Structure 1
């Protein structure tokens, strides 16, 4: 009896040791799998990266990315309706305070070049949280400063740190399955354009009934909400190019912008498109404020709301873009853009219905075209999407700058019909650049047509196994 008890106790001890030994590695593995942001902030369990399972990019997460984009990009435009108040408060001239919007845009361009390409080098989650946190800090500085020079300097830095949308866009392209990539991009793009409108409306209302500081305190609160939202929705994802340095990331952008035919083609088209866009909106104020319309500033401002109809259609158009070969998805809006500019050239100064039609049509075409161009560029290289996006966005800035300068000069010297004809010429330029390369050219084919003219995108078998958004 004693012998059997001893044997049983020994077996129990052995089983206990086996259990403890087998559970020890498991517990250690679970401990090692715990992930942290910045080395100390735990990442929610459902967002941690697991190599065995696919990343899930849901509609809810995509919508959250779009909403966050709205309130981050709005930070670049709050100052525009406040310039008179800022001038009076800081006791500076209109000319000096008008530097603020320019400094914000210059900072944003610097952030696109110097910060957003980090998405190809470091994990995107801490990068996003870091830039939004910095944005909150410097925006708070705008709210409390009493110096015009400090306000101007901080405006530049706020522009640099407001690049979260240009990190989120290629990140969404990475997370979304190929057959829903355009849909994912279109939601973020719509959020970006809504941010421009919301900023001007919200800032104008607050400035009417309160002081300019209130809008920046509200902005700090909104950005804090964005930070919290991103913490709970952005999944952990490993860095894509661990072997590269920051300097190599920057220099590779130059190589990409001179060696990739699709990127160069898309950049030239987006330059022309943004020149057209700025041409329309810059000269619209002059057209509506002059003969034969003589509309008030309030009525002219409402045309921005009319144009938002086209922006709101972006996510719906994105689903259609997913079904088309991207060349055709670029061709359709570019062709109709030329049609709308022809209408503008013929009747903008004659009939207000023509202006309304062109306003809606151009915004609709611009939304579809920009999403299609981004989709085409992101297909070049998965590991370089942040850099490819940075080059494309820089092309936007070049187009906006040249379009604003040229349209103003042509309108003042030759009138509305000449400026509209300039827009039509820009649309024709875009079509010409597009027709240089066919829809199925190989990656490094600069000119010509290859692989037929099929317009419908063929779904890859691998895509059926990928998570849907």
Structure 2
């Protein structure tokens, strides 16, 4: 079976709405801090706990897509997402909210089951563009989630956002049950053998190792920014409310528009060159953040650049690993995305630490050093890897 254009757009739609669950919390940190009488940086723990939960779900659950029928797995995990979102909405303590956020992250891994499904049902020459389209849906979901949650949190409180998210996932559950294709598992061993096989791929696939390390550091920079920018904009000279902060997510829409183009370029003879372009864009974006001061046009320009840079890195790397071992795409994606979102979780914590120690100037310096380290790693692998 080959995916039609409608199928690909539907997968992009579902991917965007489900991945949004991970990012609703970011503009809501200020409101959560007020309700539970916490500092904003302490309340910010929910951002990296959600990402840590996502990494945990990727590592433990996504490999099962090679072992079990994917549509059934997608529906079961989406049901768990509904329950986790409702738990967050009803949380009566910050501890319970933190637990709910870990579960929300772990149950929001459905996009990482959809992507291998799409890759398996797409021809080699169309795989890059297809992944690019679905990644556009994913990025739009990330960006829209911040704008929507900031607005809803400002108008009706942070709990309302989680109630709405639970309703959205319930509707998606019905839509995916009706439209998603059945798939045949490619692995016939035990769960233990499944997990052990991933270590074999880590040891034997240098492209997988390079892509994962570069994505770890790139995601850490992006996540550090989106977590810390909430504190930057909530304090003088801006002193913005959650409604205004959330709207800045829209500025990253250029990254979503770039994803299909990057996907096409990633299907070329030397997709690896896109990585250096993405890393340079990240470095330029941090420079614009450093010189922002009260000039919001520089801040918006930086958001556009950092999101385009991240798309160039992520879509390129994901397309590269999908060409390695077709029958193990879920496991390869598990390694790649688990490492990426551990990087995101570490980045959020790192960004909050930099903010506490030296606020925005130290944040910019710290993240710039991470990007420079990533460029060094890229150059280190250049003489070993060409694709």
How would you bin the TM-score normalised by the shorter chain? 0.7 to 0.9
Q: Is the 8 A contact 1:349 1:416 kept in 2?
A: no
Residue in structure 1 matched with residue 205 of structure 2 by the alignment: 260
Deviation for aligned residue 1:117: 0.8
Q: Does 1:434 align with 2:353?
A: no
Q: Is the 8 A contact 2:117 2:183 kept in 1?
A: no
Pick from 73, 77, 90 the counterpart of residue 131 of structure 1. 77
5 Å matches for 1:204-219? Answer: 204-210=150-156, 214-219=160-165
Deviation for aligned residue 1:59: 1.8
Over residues 198-254 of structure 1, what are the superposed CA-to-partner deviations in whole Å (9 max), with x where a residue is unaligned? 333333433444465544443333112211221233212211112x21111112223
SS in 1 for 2:329: helix
Q: Does 1:172 align with 2:172?
A: no
Residue in structure 2 matched with residue 12 of structure 1 by the alignment: none
Q: Is the 8 A contact 2:49 2:345 kept in 1?
A: no
Pick from 163, 175, 191 the counterpart of residue 246 of structure 1. 191
Deviation for aligned residue 1:269: 0.8
Deviation for aligned residue 1:375: 0.8
Aligned length: 384
Q: 1:432 and 1:62 mapped to 2: Cα distance? A: 36
Q: 1:137 and 1:407 mapped to 2: Cα distance? A: 30
Residue in structure 1 matched with residue 249 of structure 2 by the alignment: 304
Residue in structure 2 matched with residue 220 of structure 1 by the alignment: 166
Residue in structure 2 matched with residue 356 of structure 1 by the alignment: 300
SS in 2 for 1:264: helix
Over residues 302-353 of structure 1, what are the superposed CA-to-partner deviations in whole Å (9 max), with x where a residue is unaligned? 33221222223322332333335221232332233334445555x3448544
Q: Is the 8 A contact 2:146 2:246 kept in 1?
A: no
TM-score (ref. length: structure 1): 0.71
Over residues 252-296 of structure 1, what are the superposed CA-to-partner deviations in whole Å (9 max), with x where a residue is unaligned? 2233233321111111111221232234334545655677x5453
5 Å matches for 1:303-342? Answer: 303-342=248-287
SS in 2 for 1:56: coil
SS in 1 for 2:272: helix
Do the aligned partners of residues 93 and 286 (structure 1) sit closer, same or farther apart at CA in structure 2, a change above 3 Å counting? Answer: closer
Residue in structure 2 matched with residue 396 of structure 1 by the alignment: 340
Residues 222-231 or 261-270, more deviating: 222-231
Q: 1:449 and 1:107 mapped to 2: Cα distance? A: 32
Do the aligned partners of residues 337 and 432 (structure 1) sit closer, same or farther apart at CA in structure 2, a change above 3 Å counting? Answer: same
CA RMSD of aligned residues (A): 3.3
Do the aligned partners of residues 429 and 216 (structure 1) sit closer, same or farther apart at CA in structure 2, a change above 3 Å counting? Answer: closer
Pick from 319, 331, 352 the counterpart of residue 375 of structure 1. 319
For the pair shown, the structure with the greater C-alpha radius of gyration is 1
Deviation for aligned residue 1:190: 2.5
Q: 1:126 and 1:247 mapped to 2: Cα distance? A: 21
Q: 1:146 and 1:437 mapped to 2: Cα distance? A: 49
Q: 1:159 and 1:306 mapped to 2: Cα distance? A: 24
Residue in structure 2 matched with residue 10 of structure 1 by the alignment: none
Residues 146-155 or 362-371, more deviating: 146-155
Do the aligned partners of residues 57 and 357 (structure 1) sit closer, same or farther apart at CA in structure 2, a change above 3 Å counting? Answer: same
Residues 228-237 or 259-268, more deviating: 228-237
Pick from 257, 269, 278 the counterpart of residue 223 of structure 2. 278
Deviation for aligned residue 1:151: 5.3
Residue in structure 1 matched with residue 127 of structure 2 by the alignment: 181
5 Å matches for 1:7-26? Answer: none
TM-score (ref. length: structure 2): 0.84
Q: Is the 8 A contact 1:306 1:356 kept in 2?
A: yes
Pick from 2, 11, 35 the counterpart of residue 65 of structure 1. 11
SS in 2 for 1:163: coil
Deviation for aligned residue 1:141: 4.8
Residues 379-388 or 112-121, more deviating: 379-388
Q: Is the 8 A contact 1:84 1:94 kept in 2?
A: no
Q: Is the 8 A contact 2:278 2:313 kept in 1?
A: yes
Q: 2:353 and 2:86 mapped to 1: Cα distance? A: 38
Greater percentage in helix: 2
Q: 1:410 and 1:196 mapped to 2: Cα distance? A: 24
Do the aligned partners of residues 72 and 432 (structure 1) sit closer, same or farther apart at CA in structure 2, a change above 3 Å counting? Answer: same
Q: 1:411 and 1:83 mapped to 2: Cα distance? A: 15
Q: Is the 8 A contact 2:144 2:249 kept in 1?
A: no
Residue in structure 1 matched with residue 384 of structure 2 by the alignment: 448
Q: Is the 8 A contact 1:64 1:229 kept in 2?
A: no
Do the aligned partners of residues 280 and 235 (structure 1) sit closer, same or farther apart at CA in structure 2, a change above 3 Å counting? Answer: same
